[in-house]
Structure 1
Amino acid sequence: MRVFADFHIHTGAAKGRPVKMAASHQLTVAASLDWAARVKGLHVAGLIDAVCDPVLNEIRDLCRSGHLTPVSGGGLMYQASLLVVLGAEVEVRVSNHGAAHFGCWLPTVEAAADFQTWLKTVQSNTGLSSQVARVDPTRLADEVRARGGIFVVHHAFTPFKGLLGSAVARVAEVMPLEALDAVELGLSADADMADRLEEMRHCTLLSNSDAHSLSSIAREFNVLALNELSFEDIRHALHRRGGRSVVANLGLYPPLGKYYRTRCRSCGQVVTSESCGCGASRSVVQGVWDRIEALADQDMPVHPPWRAPYHYIVPLSLIPGVGPRTYVKLLEAFGGEAQLWFDPPSEPALAEVIGPKLAARVSAALNGRLSMSPGGAGHYGRVELV
């Protein structure tokens, strides 16, 4: 079966308490699951703050009310169509240069609760997302694995809290590659960029949204081939077992990411060194493209034969002219947004729904005929369609 999956969805608030400080308070557990299933058309949603105290309590309430039901192979089922994966994003200081975020996915509520109990011994506040843990990455991976979990590097190449973005030059400097189940690329990177590093050719790559709002859910997602919707089948897919696999990554054009190029926060200019002509050297933020240029083992990517193809998308909300009414029309006519991107309708079919002029623009975006200005220093790139 073909499955659309986004494994990195944050929770803004739960039980009346903030969880992810930078996320929208509208991003609740209930709203996230409804949006992921009904609007985005996902089959798997990873709640990456599920181990935080108030979120885990809400999940228990949803289980007691029957809105979430356990799946025999792990995970929880929502409305008979969306598999919910429980997770934690944990920050670990890995070098003198900085800290990195890791994704810890757990198969059951009981495993999540047990992992939370352990986290309380190494974290000061398990009520908030992405908190620092007094532990090394290998020990963290061992604790996840001991509870039947899956361990992932989050947004590997981003300048803030990305393992390779600023903290270290190679994963092997801090942990064995065998301890990882997958590496999440992050919004400003793609498979071509990652596979210029020899180390990455041994890793399954994921493209997840790192959603901080409802609208950003599935702005990047994965297509998996599974036998059934379950946590264990996802594990098999990450390791290409028994016909399960990641068959496609769908993600933003890297230039749309807010950390694509090295930019100066003060003047906004793309810069090619650690200083800027405006004199505000401390405002320069290294971009993902520039970081990979510095780390790369090869000038061109060398993909392993099993690497999933990477397809570029632009969220419908970023296409000029697509407002709320047009967005609803597209979803009603063609299904969830994930389906639209994976199997784009023809321009004539779009024209019947939204008119020929806008249909030409949407079709250009769906099929990669667009131009854009690159992002950097915390500012997203812009789509420039004609």
Structure 2
Amino acid sequence: MNRYYVDLHIHIGRTWTGKPVKITGAKSLTFTNIIEHARHEKGLNMIGIIDSHSPEVILEMESLIQSGDVIEHPEGGLVFGDLTVIPGSELEIYDEQCKGPIHLLCYFPNLSVMREFSSWLSGHLKNIQLSSQRIYVSGLVLQKKVKELGGIFIPAHVFTPFKSLYGKGVTQSLTEVLDPELIDGIELGLSSDTSMADQLKELHNYTFVTNSDAHSLAKIAREYQVIAMEEPTFQELQKALKGIDGRKIVANYGLDPLLGKYHKTVCVECLHSAQNDEQLCTHCGSNKFIKGVADRILELKTAEGSPVWRPPYVHQVPLEFIPGLGPRLLEKLVNHFGSEMAILHEVPYEALKEIVTPKISDLIMKAREGKINLAAGGGGKYGKIAD
């Protein structure tokens, strides 16, 4: 069984003609730029591009297939050299039943099925061109359509305070919104990890995925997983999410939850840290708070510990978080060692010191070993390295 680096949540900022897809995404996030950057700079083996329903994105994929730059694998996935692209879509549901807004991820094996899904979507949302659009059907209807088309269905960043399954504080159980039998995995998001998520007993039956939710090229692979598969295809990914025939998630790599934007509860006005039961901010007197993921999970807690089959969660500090490692120096490292994955996992300390200062080399090694000191984030502001 082979092992592959996988990030399944990457946004498209613009089409190849410059039209917006993800409004908050970088203009450089075109389909072609993403696959080139993910393959050559990041060193990933499989990615999910979750705005692939947009008609102009479909045209770009068709063009790449016609030119021979991208090949459709018979077992699903679009192959670009040693990188496989899984086309997907992020959608928002919000109705009386779901109590949303809630973001959901849908993935499909090939361009033909994605084209069919896009056509169906166009009758249920206001702007088929854009990312993360609200779809005017229930979560159950969406699930059934995805499964009818042979797709993969995963709730997105499930604990984020905004636009997630558990985050807003209304939904207490996924069964209030979705059919638990039609869920293929759970995306944790940047402010939680396995040990936190497994405090919810109802999540013990699901594989956890850790993805970047990248809104820029630099953010690709800030979270990812290593997956054991025979080869990087859609069918193999389906098996891995279900743990079938030795296919499985080997390890999740993600931010230490302290680095996430919504880990702790903070005051809306001044971002001062607050206790979950505080009525007024002790710093500015405001009565408005953004509840942190850690506090929200404690409210929902129904279990202790993780199931025995759960793979390890490795706290990974992205290279862009390393103080002093700016874009030019990072580019120099990547050019020398081949990819960010190689730098994060494989390059020896002595080799790093030949390219960057001992201080930066030390921080990279500490981050690799989970020995770095962190200051917690909250209220939309990332945590940071405290060393």
The TM-score with structure 1 as length reference comes to 0.95
1:248 match: 251
String of CA shifts for 1:300-341, please: whole Å, max 9, x gaps: 4x2122211100111111101112333133323433212333
Say which SS state the counterpart of residue 219 (structure 2) adopts.
Answer: coil
The offset of 1:346, in angstroms, is 3.4
The offset of 1:117, in angstroms, is 1.0
The offset of 1:77, in angstroms, is 0.5
Does the Cα contact within 8 Å between 1:260 and 1:287 map onto a contact in 2?
A: yes
String of CA shifts for 1:120-143, please: whole Å, max 9, x gaps: 121111110011111111211110
1:348 match: 350
2:113 match: 111
Say which SS state the counterpart of residue 103 (structure 1) adopts.
Answer: strand
Say which SS state the counterpart of residue 223 (structure 1) adopts.
Answer: strand
Show the 5 A alignment for 1:179-198: 179-198=182-201
The offset of 1:274, in angstroms, is 6.1
Say which SS state the counterpart of residue 74 (structure 1) adopts.
Answer: coil
Q: 1:356 to 1:87 in 2, by over 3 A?
A: same
Match of 2:306 among 279, 303, 306: 303
Counterpart Cα distance in 2 of 1:93 and 1:290: 24
Say which SS state the counterpart of residue 6 (structure 1) adopts.
Answer: strand
- Gapped regions of structure 2 (runs ≥ 5): none
The offset of 1:280, in angstroms, is 2.7
Match of 2:214 among 207, 211, 233: 211
String of CA shifts for 1:155-186, please: whole Å, max 9, x gaps: 01101111011241111122221110000000
Counterpart Cα distance in 2 of 1:229 and 1:182: 18
Does the Cα contact within 8 Å between 1:344 and 1:366 map onto a contact in 2?
A: no
- Residue 276, structure 1, aligned to residue 304, structure 2: no
1:201 match: 204
Match of 2:44 among 42, 45, 50: 42
Counterpart Cα distance in 2 of 1:122 and 1:202: 31
The offset of 1:97, in angstroms, is 4.4
Say which SS state the counterpart of residue 4 (structure 1) adopts.
Answer: strand
Counterpart Cα distance in 2 of 1:247 and 1:275: 43
Show the 5 A alignment for 1:55-66: 55-66=57-68
Say which SS state the counterpart of residue 343 (structure 2) adopts.
Answer: helix
- Residue 285, structure 1, aligned to residue 286, structure 2: no
The offset of 1:29, in angstroms, is 0.8
Counterpart Cα distance in 2 of 1:311 and 1:225: 16
Match of 1:24 among 26, 30, 43: 26
Say which SS state the counterpart of residue 218 (structure 2) adopts.
Answer: coil
Q: Which one is further off, 138-147 or 180-189?
A: 138-147
String of CA shifts for 1:88-141, please: whole Å, max 9, x gaps: 101011557431000010111010010111111211111100111111112111
Say which SS state the counterpart of residue 4 (structure 2) adopts.
Answer: strand
Say which SS state the counterpart of residue 129 (structure 1) adopts.
Answer: coil
The amino acid that maps onto 2:328 is R
Show the 5 A alignment for 1:116-265: 116-166=118-168, 167-265=170-268
Say which SS state the counterpart of residue 67 (structure 1) adopts.
Answer: coil
Q: 1:274 to 1:20 in 2, by over 3 A?
A: farther
Counterpart Cα distance in 2 of 1:238 and 1:340: 27
Counterpart Cα distance in 2 of 1:178 and 1:369: 39
Q: 1:234 to 1:152 in 2, by over 3 A?
A: same
Give the count of matched residue pairs: 380
- Residue 319, structure 1, aligned to residue 322, structure 2: yes
The offset of 1:368, in angstroms, is 1.5
The offset of 1:190, in angstroms, is 0.3
Q: Give the 4+ runs in structure 1 shifted more than 6 A.
A: none
The offset of 1:245, in angstroms, is 0.6
The TM-score with structure 2 as length reference comes to 0.95
Q: 1:356 to 1:240 in 2, by over 3 A?
A: same
Does the Cα contact within 8 Å between 1:5 and 1:44 map onto a contact in 2?
A: yes
The amino acid that maps onto 2:300 is L
Say which SS state the counterpart of residue 91 (structure 1) adopts.
Answer: strand
Say which SS state the counterpart of residue 118 (structure 2) adopts.
Answer: helix
Q: 1:378 to 1:355 in 2, by over 3 A?
A: closer
Does the Cα contact within 8 Å between 1:329 and 1:354 map onto a contact in 2?
A: no
Does the Cα contact within 8 Å between 2:264 and 2:293 map onto a contact in 1?
A: yes
